[in-house]
Amino acid sequence: MSNKVLVTATINDEEMSFVCEPRQSLLEVLRDVLNLTGVKEGCNNGNCGACAVILNGVLVNSCLVLGVEINGATVTTIEGITPKEGLHPLQQKFLEDAALQCGICTPGFIVAAKALLDKNPNPTEHEVRYWLAGNLCRCTGYDKIVRAVLDAAEVMRAEKQPV
């Protein structure tokens, strides 16, 4: 039954090759084959955003992508957003603003927010809320999450200012 396929992709700036079955989702491949367990499974049907990754610059839910579909592609997960030392401003602000409780939704929110801020460094609250509508959180409530994203955006804009 095993008809494994060889796939090569750039994941978090590193070229990686792995074998997987066509029926395995990108989510399963990231977690179970590549050990990138920052990406979370919530619903496994596209509704919660816990499994969000950036694929060729576009935000997607990895539970709705097949592992074999990423051959030749570029993927960024929460591990790739985390700097070698310290925290990304989004991670820092999620902590400071208490924008998480159990944390299952957090990687998805941060990856989704990163994709937004890459495109739009100065979003309105309304834009943040619409962009994150596909990410669900069962414990924290959305106000703190939206606040953290807006605060992180401010930090990131300041960091970009020429000195």
Partner 1 sequence: MQAFSYVPARTISEAAEILAREGDQAKCLSGGTDLIVFLREGRRSAKVVVDVKGIPELNQLSYSPKEGLTIGAAVPCHRIYNNAQIAAAYPGLIDAVTLIGGTAIQGRATLGGNVCTASPAGDSIPVLIAYEATCIVASRSVTKAIPLEKFFLGPGRTVLQPSELLVALKLPPPRPGTGAAYLRFIPRNEMDIAVTSAGVAVVLDESKTHFVGARIALGAVAPTPLFVPEAGAALAGRPVSDEAIEAAAQAARAAARPITDMRGSAEQRKHLSYVLTRRALWKAVERAKSA
Ligand X SMILES: Cc1cc2nc3c(=O)[nH]c(=O)nc-3n(C[C@H](O)[C@H](O)[C@H](O)COP(=O)(O)OP(=O)(O)OC[C@H]3O[C@@H](n4cnc5c(N)ncnc54)[C@H](O)[C@@H]3O)c2cc1C
Instruction: Calculate Rg over the CA atoms of the chain.
Output: 16
Site residues for ligand X per CB under 6 A: 46-47
113 binds ligand FES (CB under 6 A): no
60 binds, among ligand FES, ligand X, partner 1, none (CB under 5 to 8 A by kind): partner 1
The piece of 28-36, 69-77, 100-108, 119-127 that touches ligand FES (CB under 6 A) is: 100-108
Spatial CA neighbour of 135 closest among 103, 112, 102: 112
Q: How far is the CB of 129 from ligand X (least distance, A)?
A: 17
Residue 19 β-bridge partners: 6
* Interacting partner of 20 out of ligand FES, partner 1, ligand X, none (Cβ under 5 to 8 A depending on kind): none
Taking alpha carbons only, the member of 94, 50, 88, 68 closest to residue 5 is 68
- The DSSP 8-state label assigned to residue 3 in this structure reads -
Encoded tokens for 52: 């969000």
Binding site for ligand FES (CB under 6 A): 41-44, 46-51, 61, 63, 100-105, 137-140
